[in-house]
A and B are shown apart, each in its own frame.
Chain A
Amino acid sequence: MSTEDKIKYTEDLVDLDGKQEYTITVYAENRIGLLNRIAIIFSKRKINIESLNSSASEIDGIHRFNIVIHEGYEVVRKLARQIEKQIEVLKVYYNTNEEIIWQELALYKVSTDEIAEKVTVERLLRQYGASAVVIRKDYTVFAVTGHREETDALVKALEPYELIEFVRSARVAIIKDSAGFHEKLKEFEAEEPGEELVENEFLEKGGKIFTM
């Protein structure tokens, strides 16, 4: 991506009224229903979530949410405080794109014949750093990780060559400056190990357990 493109892309992300992309990082206990509780904080204010990823963190039992929204600073700051208020949330950060390292994964399914026949496609793939995940007679699946504009660019490039299917993951992000919380997380775990997640063990066992 050229510098000019990058400037253009950044400008597109920032609205005139101060809105821009923010990545909200939530560290929370792994609890059923917490995702809903967090999502409600956005939907209550009619704010659209651009992307949401929930995964394990480096500490057992602590989950990490990456939520991308397009909003102004004040709104994001207040949202973060409301999320942090939830009982099972340990810490919330909110960062602009400059403050994080982030990636999205995109998968592209294209016709294998097209790939085989047209060298330009191969070149395109190299150019975008794609890797083949599956190669079959009828189709091939490629994967690319990168920023939105990178994965988008490959979609455009592949469209003339029978792009059959395309899917992109939610954003995963690492905050450039969050070593402090990692230490705290480790302390939490050392002092108070997390509790086990209690799921419904009786689901689908009704006939065996109860007679009434």
Chain B
Amino acid sequence: METAQDTIQQTEAKAETSQTFFKGTGSQVLLNGLITEGVKTIFGYPGGAIMPIYDALYDYADKLQHILVRHEQGGIHAAQGFARASGEVGVVFATSGPGATNLVTGLADAQIDSTPLVVITGQVFAHLLGTDAFQETDVINITTPVTKWNYQVTDANEIQEVLAKAFYIAKSGRPGPVLIDITKNAQIQIEDFPEYVKCHHIRSYRPKPKVRVEYIEQAAELINAAKKPFVLWGQGVVLGTAEEEFKAFIEKTGIPSAWTILGESAIPTSHPLNVGMLGMHGNYGPNVLTNECDVLIAIGMRFDDRVTGRLDKYAKQAKIIHLDIDPAEIDKNVKADVGVWGDCKETLPLLTKLVNENKHETWLAVFRDYNQQEIDQVITPELYPEGEEITMGEVLRNINEICDGEAIIVTDVGQHQMVACRYAKFNNTRSNITSGGLGTMGFGLPAAIGAKYGAPDKTVIAIIGDGGFQMTPQELGTIMQFGAEVKILILNNRFLGMVRQWQQLFNDKRYSFVNITSPDFVALAKAYYIEGQMVNEREKLRTALGTMINHKGSYLLEVMVGRENNVFPMVPQGMSVSEIRLK
């Protein structure tokens, strides 16, 4: 049995080894840790099992801004929008049980889109674990497949180290979501806590592979010998803050470059070497020419099936160079001839040094020829329609003309997303925020709220379909209460448009449950004291968009667009990228 003498000795020993700076609860030390990590904004929703943390938060109001969302899913999507717009780690609080399970969609979304998040969930008392206590769910096991790392804290003494690790893991290497589940006893436990030490190293974790120069040399050799090289870039360029390094590489080599939707705004849309979007609804030239190039250089992208189409017919003629920070991505879908493991912020400058200056004018002209075909057959009719119905494309053209590429555009998922990604113009990195890998309807509105906190000086436009908006409309309440200035643009075609398009093209127009009726969105916004209007005439569109963008405060604009407009070009599922359809 421990004697009083033992306790004194232990306390003395502790005092010698660590400088005690704070006596308080686990909750307080958690919040102090967040402040030390530079956190200023938290998105969350309180509940019984996280009450001690919220109680402590009451005293930190001057240092930590807490945005009370209307649903935990809204909270985590907002944190994603915040992280994507700012480049910082998004932080979310939720309670145990239903609070935590409501985060799962957002975690999966953040995991597949490599978004750095630290999510704190409250948990029942440690002694109740495994007893099916009130609001107990096995959060660690539920979230294991959708987190980069997770950990359950049962003792307050673990909090500092685990929190520091969480931030390090979330933002280093290939970023991702991390979840810490803290039992209620640990939140209220009073201890003497040592000074918070940030984590910079975990012995079993290598966030960046060591750059191997021989592979860079092999890549440079292939690039220098190439007649028709082609660059595909993804979000890795943005996550690695390698936009300048990337631009320097393509400008020296003169290689035509196309993007995945998450890589989109890394270089300006108007850059002469930016030849457009890859994949299922991407541009004609980049898709067709993937099967004509002789060297394919993939940078920070993961050859998603929406990008590659049929793999057995994908770029078989080309030598593949794949630059990625995550070794598991190399050869995962497309076998690389040269795999360059590493952070592209480090690997790209090394590669740029070794490659020859080039222009590739003739090859670039082939892209322009295809682009002209697409302009004539798809883009012009979409952006300058002759029919009566408003098209989604012309809405985007007007936004481009008003915002001049300076706005942050957050999209939900569906036809409008593809149209927005295809036609929106961007001048700045981190301006295009969308749910790419998971394709989460309901993402747009809360992510836009988060994006506004992540980039308060920017105009944030949330472009959302009538279907997606109805998945998380309650976040209008968050806007109402906290005044996040978000311009909400609903493109309403009275259908679940993307599914309807597939049903039209592949299911013989059997429109099975894609008819969706909507409430009066403008009245709904007004119920939340948000201004708005609806337009269904072309003559009023430009003015209405101008009103929305120039309005001081949030604004909801509903635009009635053509019911059965389709998004083209399109690579039908199971086809190769060169079989892309223009209509």
* Stretch in contact with the other chain, from B126-134, B249-257, B365-373, B469-477: B126-134
Q: How far is the CA of A24 from the CA of B129 in the complex (A)?
A: 33
| Cβ–Cβ contact A201 & B155, under 8 A | yes
Q: Which of B139-191 contact A (CB under 8 A)?
A: 140-141, 144-145, 148-150, 152, 154-155, 158, 169, 183, 185
Q: Which of A30-70 contact B (CB under 8 A)?
A: 32-33, 36-37, 40, 44
Q: How far is the CA of A84 from the CA of B152 in the complex (A)?
A: 22
Q: How far is the CA of A206 from the CA of B126 in the complex (A)?
A: 8
A88: chain B residues at CB < 8 Å are 204-205
| Cβ–Cβ contact B328 & A82, under 8 A | yes
Q: How far is the CA of A200 from the CA of B185 in the complex (A)?
A: 11
| Cβ–Cβ contact A87 & B148, under 8 A | yes
| Cβ–Cβ contact A202 & B154, under 8 A | yes
Q: B332 at interface (Cβ–Cβ under 8 A)?
A: yes
Q: Give chain B's interface residue range (CB within 8 Å of chain A).
A: 20 to 34
| Cβ–Cβ contact B204 & A81, under 8 A | no
A29: chain B residues at CB < 8 Å are 203-204
B130 to A, closest residue via Cβ = A203
B145: chain A residues at CB < 8 Å are 40, 44
Q: A78 at interface (Cβ–Cβ under 8 A)?
A: yes
Contact A202 to B185, CB < 8 A, known contacts A28-B204, A33-B144: yes
Q: Which of A171-206 contact B (CB under 8 A)?
A: 188, 191-192, 194, 198, 200-206
Contact A192 to B203, CB < 8 A, known contacts A44-B145, A198-B155: yes
Q: What is the distance, in angstroms, from B186's C-beta to the closest C-beta of chain A? A: 9
Per-residue CB contact flags for chain B residues 246-271 toward chain A (1 = under 8 Å, else 0) read 00000000000000000000000000
Q: A118 at interface (Cβ–Cβ under 8 A)?
A: no
Q: A7 at interface (Cβ–Cβ under 8 A)?
A: no
Contact A203 to B204, CB < 8 A, known contacts A40-B144, A87-B149: no
Q: B331 at interface (Cβ–Cβ under 8 A)?
A: yes
Q: What is the distance, in angstroms, from B472's C-beta to the closest C-beta of chain A? A: 27
| Cβ–Cβ contact A85 & B328, under 8 A | yes
Q: B483 at interface (Cβ–Cβ under 8 A)?
A: no
| Cβ–Cβ contact B169 & A210, under 8 A | no
Q: What is the distance, in angstroms, from B190's C-beta to the closest C-beta of chain A? A: 13
Q: B511 at interface (Cβ–Cβ under 8 A)?
A: no
A85: chain B residues at CB < 8 Å are 326-328
Q: How far is the CA of A201 from the CA of B156 in the complex (A)?
A: 12
| Cβ–Cβ contact A200 & B328, under 8 A | no
Q: What is the distance, in angstroms, from B167's C-beta to the closest C-beta of chain A? A: 13
A170: chain B residues at CB < 8 Å are none
A84: chain B residues at CB < 8 Å are 327-328
B327: chain A residues at CB < 8 Å are 81, 84-85
Q: What is the distance, in angstroms, from A107's C-beta to the closest C-beta of chain B? A: 31
| Cβ–Cβ contact B144 & A202, under 8 A | no
| Cβ–Cβ contact B205 & A87, under 8 A | yes
Q: How far is the CA of A200 from the CA of B153 in the complex (A)?
A: 9
Q: What is the distance, in angstroms, from A145's C-beta to the closest C-beta of chain B? A: 31
| Cβ–Cβ contact B204 & A202, under 8 A | no
| Cβ–Cβ contact B203 & A188, under 8 A | yes
A191 to B, closest residue via Cβ = B203
Q: A89 at interface (Cβ–Cβ under 8 A)?
A: yes
A119: chain B residues at CB < 8 Å are none
Q: What is the distance, in angstroms, from A73's C-beta to the closest C-beta of chain B? A: 12
Q: A90 at interface (Cβ–Cβ under 8 A)?
A: yes
| Cβ–Cβ contact B126 & A202, under 8 A | yes
Among A44, A78, A188, A209, which residue has its beta carbon within 8 angstroms of that of B331? A78
| Cβ–Cβ contact B126 & A78, under 8 A | no
A206: chain B residues at CB < 8 Å are 125, 127-128
| Cβ–Cβ contact A200 & B149, under 8 A | no
A62 to B, closest residue via Cβ = B204
Q: B202 at interface (Cβ–Cβ under 8 A)?
A: yes
| Cβ–Cβ contact B185 & A209, under 8 A | yes
| Cβ–Cβ contact B129 & A203, under 8 A | yes
Per-residue CB contact flags for chain A residues 148-190 toward chain B (1 = under 8 Å, else 0) read 0000000000000000000000000000000000000000100
B141: chain A residues at CB < 8 Å are 33, 36
A192: chain B residues at CB < 8 Å are 203
| A77, A85, A205: most-surrounded residue (chain B CB, <10 A) | A85
B125: chain A residues at CB < 8 Å are 202, 206, 210
Q: How far is the CA of A85 from the CA of B183 in the complex (A)?
A: 28
| Cβ–Cβ contact A203 & B126, under 8 A | yes
| Cβ–Cβ contact B127 & A37, under 8 A | no
Contact A78 to B332, CB < 8 A, known contacts A202-B185, A209-B185: yes
Contact A87 to B185, CB < 8 A, known contacts A200-B126, A203-B127, A205-B127: no
B202: chain A residues at CB < 8 Å are 87
Among B144, B158, B326, B328, which residue has its beta carbon within 8 angstroms of that of A198? B158
| Cβ–Cβ contact B204 & A36, under 8 A | no
| Cβ–Cβ contact B328 & A204, under 8 A | no
Q: What is the distance, in angstroms, from A93's C-beta to the closest C-beta of chain B? A: 15
| Cβ–Cβ contact A204 & B127, under 8 A | yes
Q: What is the distance, in angstroms, from A138's C-beta to the closest C-beta of chain B? A: 38
A39 to B, closest residue via Cβ = B144
Q: Which of A1-42 contact B (CB under 8 A)?
A: 28-29, 32-33, 36-37, 40
Q: What is the distance, in angstroms, from B112's C-beta to the closest C-beta of chain A? A: 13
A40: chain B residues at CB < 8 Å are 144-145
| B127, B141, B148, B185: most-surrounded residue (chain A CB, <10 A) | B127
A82: chain B residues at CB < 8 Å are 328
| Cβ–Cβ contact B328 & A78, under 8 A | yes
Q: How far is the CA of A44 from the CA of B146 in the complex (A)?
A: 12
| Cβ–Cβ contact A210 & B127, under 8 A | yes
Contact A202 to B127, CB < 8 A, known contacts A40-B144, A78-B331: yes
| Cβ–Cβ contact B154 & A201, under 8 A | yes
Q: How far is the CA of A131 from the CA of B375 in the complex (A)?
A: 81
Q: How far is the CA of A44 from the CA of B108 in the complex (A)?
A: 14
| Cβ–Cβ contact B144 & A89, under 8 A | no
| B126, B148, B155: most-surrounded residue (chain A CB, <10 A) | B126
A87: chain B residues at CB < 8 Å are 148-149, 169, 202, 204-205
B329 to A, closest residue via Cβ = A81
Q: What is the distance, in angstroms, from B411's C-beta to the closest C-beta of chain A? A: 28
Q: How far is the CA of A29 from the CA of B151 in the complex (A)?
A: 14
B332: chain A residues at CB < 8 Å are 78, 81
A sample of 5 cross-chain residue pairs with beta-carbon separation below 8 angstroms, ordered by A number, consists of A77-B331, A87-B148, A90-B203, A192-B203, A202-B155
Per CB-CB distance, the 8 closest pairs between chain A and chain B, nearest first, are: A206-B127, A202-B126, A81-B328, A192-B203, A202-B127, A90-B204, A87-B149, A200-B154
In the complex, besides A204-B127, A205-B127, A210-B127, 4 extra interface pairs with C-beta distance below 8 angstroms are: A78-B332, A87-B204, A198-B154, A202-B155
